[in-house]
Amino acid sequence: MVQINLSGQIKLYTERVQRQLIKSIDEMIGNGKVLEPPLKFFQFIIAKPIAATMVGEELSDDKELVNSFANVTTDFIPFLSIPPVLNFIHPYLHQQVMIFVFKYLNNPFKMHRELIKKKITPVIEKRLREMKESGDNYVSPIDILQRYTELLHKDYTVDIDVVTDNMIISIFASVYNTSNSLTFCLTWYKLVNNPQFLKEILEEQEQLYKSNEKSYYSTEQIARMEKLDSFIKETLRVNVNNVALQHKTLSSYFTFSNGYQVPKGRLVNIRLGEVHFDKELQSQNADEFNAFRYLKKNSPATRADN
């Protein structure tokens, strides 16, 4: 859903994200606050623009909701770290323990879910009424919440719990990954370990700033920052865990190009380190951080399917 309606229609959200990002930056660091710890600050900075794309700009001004967007993932992760000791008896037991914890015990994740549900429920109900009353003349709001509502409703009614769960999955995938990547880019690699790349990256941005006559930048203008693009890709390359996620085969089987097949239901861990640090693919200096490794190269962003 996010891949199709956000990444696939990025032009619809570009100005909105910039507008909310400026507000968020002014609020968080406009007074010269020290960014410590940086990950926490970045989560709050990007929570507002992400909320604007997820639930619309009006709800993105709700501080209580934005705070939940920023914290839901980090509050959720510790529960995923509960050791599966009962797996020694049977995997089903650990699964049931986790379901019990999230469903019946008071925990931060449950509180975030209830808050998000409370905030989006009146918005969904209002939109469904307007959809029914206006028919073909209804002008759909541009956000992920609307897309979920249109996809999941039946006869202008929808299961709010299902929409809420889908929204939380989208939040988890966007806020944590984006803030994590920002932390790596701005602290571990750019500012601390590799200041030699900073000058050229800043010059590229300053040239774009001087040539822009509008308040916000278009996707075409942003695409001109090729050095920044290469720098981010290189940061993600060395930060292997950022994309080395476990995948589950959903089709009857999945066939790789070399003929190997993975049956349905099988969990597969992708060893991206083998790809990211392969000297034949990344050149002989694959073990080094080179911010401009992908400059002037055809290296589109991709994702693993199935």
**Confidence at residue 38, expressed as pLDDT on a 0 to 100 scale:** 79
Residue 41 sits in the same domain as residue 172: yes
Asked if 225 and 292 touch (Cβ cutoff 8 Å), the reply is: no
Asked if 181 and 236 touch (Cβ cutoff 8 Å), the reply is: yes
Chain centroid to CA 208: 26
Asked if 20 and 148 touch (Cβ cutoff 8 Å), the reply is: no
Of 193, 222, 237, which closes a domain? Answer: 193
Q: Which H/E stretch holds residue 254?
A: strand 253-255
Asked if 70 and 176 touch (Cβ cutoff 8 Å), the reply is: no
Residue 181 sits in the same domain as residue 206: no
Residue 175 sits in the same domain as residue 238: no
Whole domain around residue 225: which residue ranges? 195-306
Residue 187 sits in the same domain as residue 201: no
**Confidence at residue 189, expressed as pLDDT on a 0 to 100 scale:** 59
Asked if 175 and 72 touch (Cβ cutoff 8 Å), the reply is: yes
Residue 123 sits in the same domain as residue 271: no
**Confidence at residue 64, expressed as pLDDT on a 0 to 100 scale:** 95
Residue 209 sits in the same domain as residue 167: no
Instruction: Convert the pLDDT of each residue in 95-138 to its tens digit.
Output: 777 677 667 666 777 888 899 999 999 999 999 999 999 999 99
**Confidence at residue 256, expressed as pLDDT on a 0 to 100 scale:** 84
State the Cα–Cα distance between residues 44 and 183, nearest whole angstrom: 12
Q: How far is CA 142 from CA 58, 99, 185, in A?
A: 12, 34, 30
**Confidence at residue 193, expressed as pLDDT on a 0 to 100 scale:** 76
Residue 220 sits in the same domain as residue 145: no
Of 168, 193, 218, which closes a domain? Answer: 193
Residue 70 sits in the same domain as residue 214: no
**Confidence at residue 270, expressed as pLDDT on a 0 to 100 scale:** 76
In the chain the first and final C-alpha atoms are separated, in Å, by 15
Structural domain total, the chain:
2
Q: Strands 246-248 and 267-269: what pairing?
A: antiparallel
**Confidence at residue 83, expressed as pLDDT on a 0 to 100 scale:** 66
**Which distant-in-sequence residues (6+ apart) come within 8 Å of 281 by Cβ?**
275
State the Cα–Cα distance between residues 66 and 47, nearest whole angstrom: 6
Q: Kindly give the parts of the chain with pLDDT less than 50.
A: 242-243, 306
**Which distant-in-sequence residues (6+ apart) come within 8 Å of 91 by Cβ?**
84
**Confidence at residue 14, expressed as pLDDT on a 0 to 100 scale:** 92
Of 193, 220, 243, which closes a domain? Answer: 193
3-state class (DSSP) for residue 90: coil
Q: Which residues pair with 269 in a beta bridge?
A: 246
Residue 161 sits in the same domain as residue 207: no
pTM for the model stands at 0.79
Residue 150 sits in the same domain as residue 288: no
Asked if 218 and 167 touch (Cβ cutoff 8 Å), the reply is: no
Structure tokens at 223: 């695409």
**Confidence at residue 185, expressed as pLDDT on a 0 to 100 scale:** 83
Q: Which amino acid is at 243?
A: V
Residue 134 sits in the same domain as residue 77: yes
* Cβ atoms < 10 Å from Cβ of 130: 15
Tokens 């080179």 sit on residue: 290
**Confidence at residue 278, expressed as pLDDT on a 0 to 100 scale:** 85
Residue 2 sits in the same domain as residue 61: yes
